[in-house]
Amino acid sequence: MNFIKFIFIILSLLFFLVAYLIWKKQRLSLLAGYTEGSVSDEDKQRFAKVNGMMFVIYGILLFLYAFIYTKVNFYVVFVGFIILCFIHIAVANIKFKNKNF
């Protein structure tokens, strides 16, 4: 196993760990920009689930990329990853924004 593949696998495992902490342990403070009260109390569990699932998807994509990085152009994957991140941020902000905050 070469060094680049090892780095991508370690990064994917890190994303899986963050997904577990956010989704199952409700550690929403790990999310950048999250403040207590920015999501209504009844939506916190769904908010954690959506963000946790997105981190699982990021982890899966990084894990898969570890095995195909020589066959796929890096910039195509990078741009796709950035687009996915923007979609994730937009969905989380639109769907779960607390109107009373």
Can you give the residue ranges of every domain in the chain? 3-96
pLDDT of residue 98: 57
pLDDT digits (tens, 9 = 90+) for 37-84: 788 878 888 889 989 999 999 999 889 888 887 787 778 888 888 898
- The rounded mean pLDDT for the chain is 85
Q: What is the pTM of this model?
A: 0.80
Q: Which residue has the higher pLDDT, 15 or 96?
A: 15
Residue identified by tokens 């959506």 is 50
Q: Any idea how long the chain is?
A: 101
Distance of CA 59 to the CA centre of its chain: 8
What would the 3-class secondary structure string for 35-59 be? CCCCCCHHHHHHHHHHHHHHHHHHH
Q: Is residue 101 pLDDT above 70, yes or no?
A: no
